[in-house]
Structure 1
Amino acid sequence: MTDTITNVTAPPSNKAAYDHIHEVVAGGVSSNMRARGVVRPLVVESASGCRIRDVEGNELIDVNMGYGPHIFGYADREVTDQIADQFGRGHLTGLPHRLDRAAAGLVAELVPGIEQLRFANSGTEALMSAVRLARATSGRPLLLTFEGHYHGWSETLLRRPAPEGDRPLPGAAGMIPEAAHHTIQVPWNDTAAVERVFAEHGAELGAVICEPVLGNVGVVPPAPGFLELLRLRTRERGAVLIFDEVITGFRVARGGAQERYGVVPDLTVLSKVMGGGFPVAAFGGSREVMEPLTTYEAFHAGVYAGNHAALRAVTATLTKIRSAPDLYGDLEALGAYAEARVREAATAAGRNVLVERVGSVLSMALLDDASAVDRAGHRAVQTACQQRGVYFHPVPDEPWFLSTAHTTQDIDTVAGVLKESLAQAPAAEGVR
């Protein structure tokens, strides 16, 4: 088989292609997230709509959708044609462009908590900048985060819970342990823990950051009143409330989770859907909160931040979102249909699964007899589904993302494949 990209003979199978990549790419991937739990390698040749085609010529319905950016499906021509046009006009000059006003204006129009913003290249970069700005604004270094929430892999934010106490540990080898000294971490939706942190550390707390819908250990919505509590306590104590809407922004509602739940943060971080799959992110808030960047009292930079191609992607995507009044109602209905079909598939197969959903974001995890997540069993189910033409992430922590390219017929196919695979997978022995 000839590789159309490099014009060289490509390996004939996914496994051989993966091994071929592995020779020059460490671990065969450029993000550890892509290798977690993988049993059966999958190397993509192309993607369109809600389907991917691998190097063996197999076509799979995809409900991972690049970890969520493709709300209109892969290779949406209304977006990609505009990006291609911008490359012909110059995609990076390092100077202001009219696209800056167009893209930022659309974000500010659609997201309740944003009057001004800065663009960045990734969610990690934007989150790092937002936390630094929050600390500069409040004049306090202490940060409150929540267990299971993923805010990128920077030194500031990648954390894991400590065995005892409320101070988390660095999240990866090579991180500076002392950086964790400025972070407190408590369980999500734990009102008592939040009240304790504010009672004991309120005077030194500079910012609180959360995913308003937890989306990195499955989907966990905020408990009733929990976001309101964070908003109330941060205002009382002069701390900055940051919503990490990398996943939820333009996904669970036009204005993100803050529109859906009616709680407006001081700073919002966006990525994923905003660029339709193009690498771009942003952080923003009120003019007052963003003022330190204008007066150079806070620092943010990046040669590629706000490059013209990225902002053309933002403008194209958000213009399409703005012009589709039924978009989120349709996605809500599709999500509800998918949730019901997944539950039916599990019942028909006689298996216990945990299903959670907010809008078009859904998580499904196989449980064992003790109602604990059966990770080995889940990987077995995922592998069987992949072999039958349906792809979702091998790790149950990663959600499914639906798009306008998915149809109810696609969902029916996914549910049928899932039922067969659940019936095939061996039952867990004890708690995994």
Structure 2
Amino acid sequence: MTGTISDVQAPQSNKTAYDGLRDVVAGGVSSNMRARGVAAPLVVDSAAGARIRDVEGNELIDANMGYGPHIFGYADRDVTEHVAARFRCGHLTGLPHRLDHEAAELVAELVPGVEQLRFANSGTEALMSAVRLARALTGRTLVLTFGGHYHGWSETLLRTRECDGYRPRPLAPGMIPEAMAHTLQVGWNDAAAVEAVFEEHGGELAAVLCEPVLANAGVVAPAPGFLELLRERTRSSGALLVFDEVITGFRVSRGGAQELYGVVPDLTVLSKVMGGGFPVAAFGGPRQAMKPLAQLEAFHAGVYAGNHAAMAAVAASLAKVRSLPGLYTELEALGAYAEARVHEAAAAAQRTLQVRRVGSVMSVALTSPATGAVDPDGHRRLQIACQGRGVYFHPIPDEPWFLSTAHTRSDIDTIADVLAESLAEVCAEGAR
């Protein structure tokens, strides 16, 4: 069951509300991606199901869904009421709680590569900890990553897509350039480059870290045999294979991408759907891999890691995932319908959209008629036009759409109609 959107009190304009935010919150947001997600001012008052309501009282169908956690829609009562009950009886004691067992047991039951785990507060924290554990287990320091994959904003993993050879550069001002000294990068699905790295650095690699489905630079599935290659080469060289399933975990199947593709990593990082919108993440693997943490021979900490409210959210979210055997069949059907309708909308406007999808994760990007490449400026104009007609998705074409059980086929039809109208508007503007 899904909650209802609350009544708006004291309506104001999105611009006024956003300007007020910027007076006290740097840039008006607490994440750079949220700033980049506001092509035209949009300040939310409430959200329920597949819809958000802004401070002006406008309702919009949301295809972004909080960057992906809400597989059952916003304000899903099966999750929120379970968490609310936890707040009434203490949500942080700093001690083990029965909910830790309940939540962890569900993760271990559903995810093939996890027997034991540790909880964290965010994907960034969990990824930092997983990489540190891989280094502790192997006694090595090098980590191989892939262009376009996002693994949080920690010092050694936040990097540009461009490389000097295999060496990426720090992405953000203030980062220590030397922090990239132990991070390598090659292209996604580039088997030859992977082979070359292992030939040159195989004995130095602690881990190969990837999103098993690239979902932070469009949606790009692994090429046939590519994950198997990573599994074979890491195993033969003594490196660990680490899957960043922050997005794909419990999203593309019950057991994530590792279940979908049949390739089991040494360590898995999870977040988003696992917590149903509450701040929680986890990293885990076989008991032997987690042994240094179990014996306090490796380090991981965090006052709020495994807080009782987060554990309640994990337990409720994953219990619901487990209880719905047809969930992923339903989401696949909805995704296929959405993909077809988006193509129809593009055809109606005689404009090309690049559409890529794995299950309920889909990237939709406007392309340039002249070059066929993604057109970021045109896509941003398209997003603003759609937002004005009651449909929200991220204005950066790399950012995926996330479908949920709260989206109906009628919602998808509305999105397609709005896309077609907005595409026609953007095309007309370009012709002037």
**Distance across 2 between alignment mates of 1:27 and 1:258:** 38
- Tell me how far 1:165 sits from its aligned partner: 1.4
- Structure 1: state its 5+ residue gaps: none
- Alignment match, 1:47: 47
Is the Cα contact below 8 Å between 2:11 and 2:56 reproduced in 1? no
Residue type at the aligned position of 1:267: L
The reply on whether 1:94 has 2:94 as its aligned counterpart is yes
With normalisation by structure 1, the TM-score equals 0.96
* Superposed CA RMSD: 1.6
- Structure 2: state its 5+ residue gaps: 1-5
Superposition map of 1:134-145 within 5 A? 134-145=134-145
Structure 2 SS opposite 1:426:
helix
The reply on whether 1:346 has 2:315 as its aligned counterpart is no
Residue type at the aligned position of 2:27: G
The reply on whether 1:377 has 2:368 as its aligned counterpart is no
- Alignment match, 2:285: 285
- Alignment match, 1:60: 60
Residue type at the aligned position of 1:68: G
Query: Structure 1 residues 37, 318: closer, same or farther in 2, change over 3 A?
Result: closer
With normalisation by structure 2, the TM-score equals 0.96
Query: Structure 1 residues 188, 428: closer, same or farther in 2, change over 3 A?
Result: farther
Residue type at the aligned position of 2:342: V
Residue type at the aligned position of 2:188: W
The Cα offsets for residues 88-135 of structure 1, whole Å up to 9 and x where unpaired, read as: 110000000111110000000000000000000000000000000001
Query: Structure 1 residues 17, 10: closer, same or farther in 2, change over 3 A?
Result: farther
- Alignment match, 1:418: 419
- Tell me how far 1:38 sits from its aligned partner: 2.9
- Tell me how far 1:39 sits from its aligned partner: 2.5
- Alignment match, 2:126: 126
- Tell me how far 1:427 sits from its aligned partner: 7.1
- Tell me how far 1:426 sits from its aligned partner: 3.4
- Alignment match, 2:3: none
Residue type at the aligned position of 1:407: T
**Distance across 1 between alignment mates of 2:259 and 2:303:** 32
Query: Structure 1 residues 261, 427: closer, same or farther in 2, change over 3 A?
Result: farther
- Alignment match, 1:306: 306
**Distance across 2 between alignment mates of 1:353 and 1:408:** 20
**Distance across 1 between alignment mates of 2:333 and 2:179:** 44
- Tell me how far 1:58 sits from its aligned partner: 0.3
The Cα offsets for residues 329-382 of structure 1, whole Å up to 9 and x where unpaired, read as: 000000000000000100111001100000000000000021111111001110
Residue type at the aligned position of 2:386: C
- Alignment match, 1:266: 266
Query: Structure 1 residues 45, 375: closer, same or farther in 2, change over 3 A?
Result: same
**Distance across 1 between alignment mates of 2:39 and 2:300:** 40
Superposition map of 1:20-419 within 5 A? 20-36=20-36, 38-369=38-369, 370-419=371-420
**Distance across 2 between alignment mates of 1:120 and 1:193:** 33
Is the Cα contact below 8 Å between 1:37 and 1:379 reproduced in 2? no
**Distance across 1 between alignment mates of 2:105 and 2:374:** 43
- Tell me how far 1:10 sits from its aligned partner: 5.8
The Cα offsets for residues 141-165 of structure 1, whole Å up to 9 and x where unpaired, read as: 0000000000000012101144531
Residue type at the aligned position of 1:300: H
Structure 1 SS opposite 2:113:
coil
**Distance across 2 between alignment mates of 1:361 and 1:190:** 22
The Cα offsets for residues 65-95 of structure 1, whole Å up to 9 and x where unpaired, read as: 0000000000000110010000011000000
Residue type at the aligned position of 1:417: V
Is the Cα contact below 8 Å between 1:162 and 1:169 reproduced in 2? yes
Is the Cα contact below 8 Å between 1:161 and 1:167 reproduced in 2? no
**Distance across 2 between alignment mates of 1:428 and 1:86:** 52
Is the Cα contact below 8 Å between 1:11 and 1:20 reproduced in 2? no
Structure 1 SS opposite 2:75:
coil
The Cα offsets for residues 163-208 of structure 1, whole Å up to 9 and x where unpaired, read as: 5311001111111111101011000000000000000000101100
**Distance across 2 between alignment mates of 1:427 and 1:177:** 46
